Amino acid sequence: MPIGVAMILHDFYPSIGGAQTHTLALSRALRARGIDAIAVTRPYPGTLAYEEVQGIPTYRVGMHGGRVLAGVSYLAAGLALLIRERNRYQILHCHQMISPMTLALMARALPEKRLVINPHGRGPRGDVAKLTRLRPLTGKLRVAAALRWGDAFVAISRDIHDELCAMGVQEERIWDIANGVDVERFAPASLDERTELRRRLGLPDGRLVVFVGRLTVAKALDVLLNAWAQRDTTLADARLIIVGDGELRNDLMRQARDLGVEQSVMFAGATNDTAAYLRACDAFVLSSRTEGMPVALLEAMACGLPCVATCVGGSMEIIEDGVNGCLVMPEDAGALARAVAQALATPEWGVHARRHIQERYAIDTVAQRYVALYERLVNGRSAGAVRTPA
């Protein structure tokens, strides 16, 4: 009997973010291996309750509304769906540890189901912190349930691995599997392709530095704009392209005006085609205060871009400083400005970055690790533990 997996997550395509992008790519790679992956997620404006997203059967359950209404309706409708489709899957794979994990824990009571818990954030705003510190009452209950009923836990970075251990998860139940990237879609562009992409996207000529992600406090775009204002005069012709949307968009546009850099900063907004922007640019920057395993960084490196990132989370595992990119301390605008200039002057970082991603983080490689995990659970054996190869 083929393995079936219900991917349970808070947001999914067309919502763009690291967890969503990774889950979609992983689900497609799993289906190519004969695994019936479906997605169970919340409603999204302008979308249908059911559709196939790039071949992935996607169910959007629950109601729009306030936090309580949306949460309760998601759990009730999600559980009803998982009961109805119970013959289609054996694995419940929840992404994030708030409502998706709660729904998965409820469905874990169904016969012959196994639960994989996959946090995506770390630190003060991460999954474990939300349960153990920000929700002292309900969080404790959910932690206890996760420790009792979670068959395997996935750590996408070493920091998350350590947080899971501190939460009480035994080492043998943790699988270290990093996020992955489609290295065929995210690949270096030829000169002609880059020229055409810039024309289609309305990007200027000259050297382009790109950021991709949500415009949130965690991404520290205020620091990036301060760094951009401090850039070397040799980069006066360079442009910063900010791809993404979020609650800080207006504040950041105002900051760019106040710093006098609004003419060299382009807010491109949200897009469903981040690959086009990455392949059209010359370097990538990620100024985050906290990260899990940043998918945008993986994608940029797969595109052969010299990259700059802060020393947080999985970025420190992906980048070998001075070899395939550059690492700087968070909140240091001056160091970030110098690193961006160095990245533009060191295109060979991008060559090494592409090779590194192909060897370690290609979605086909990551999917095969998940297949091994699912097979072990379905066959009734202990999940054991796996280490990502060095």
Span 205-259, pLDDT tens digits: 999 999 999 999 999 999 999 999 999 998 999 999 999 999 999 999 999 999 9
Among 344, 349, 211, smallest CA distance to 267 is for 211
Q: Are residues 161 and 266 in the same domain?
A: no
Whether residue 209 contacts residue 342, with contact meaning beta carbons closer than 8 Å, is answered with: no
Q: Are residues 158 and 302 in the same domain?
A: no
Q: Are residues 167 and 26 in the same domain?
A: yes
Q: Are residues 235 and 285 in the same domain?
A: yes
Burial code (b: 16+ CB inside 10 Å, e: under 16) for 178-211 equals: bbbbbbeebbebeeeebeebbeebebeeeebbbb
Cis peptide before 14 (omega within 30 of 0): yes
Q: Are residues 333 and 289 in the same domain?
A: yes
Q: Is residue 385 part of a domain?
A: no
**How many separate domains does the chain show?**
2
pLDDT per 10-residue tile (average), the chain, 390 residues: 92 83 94 96 92 96 83 94 97 93 96 96 79 76 93 94 94 95 96 97 97 95 98 93 96 98 96 95 97 94 98 94 97 98 98 97 96 94 50
Q: Are residues 218 and 119 in the same domain?
A: no
Predicted structure pTM score: 0.87
- The parent domain of residue 204 ranges over 191-360
Q: Are residues 127 and 201 in the same domain?
A: no
Whether residue 377 contacts residue 383, with contact meaning beta carbons closer than 8 Å, is answered with: yes
Residue 13 one-letter amino acid: Y
Q: Are residues 40 and 149 in the same domain?
A: yes
Contacts of 286 (CB under 8 A, 6+ apart): 211, 213, 219, 294, 296, 297, 300, 307, 308, 309, 310, 315
CATH of the domain at 133: 3.40.50.2000
Q: Are residues 85 and 215 in the same domain?
A: no
Span 45-63, pLDDT tens digits: 889 999 999 999 999 999 8
Q: Is residue 79 part of a domain?
A: yes
Q: Is residue 84 part of a domain?
A: yes
Q: Is residue 185 part of a domain?
A: no
Sheet holding 174-176, edge to edge: 50-53, 56-60, 36-41, 4-9, 91-95, 114-118, 152-155, 174-176
Span 369-381, pLDDT tens digits: 999 999 999 998 6
Q: Are residues 172 and 228 in the same domain?
A: no
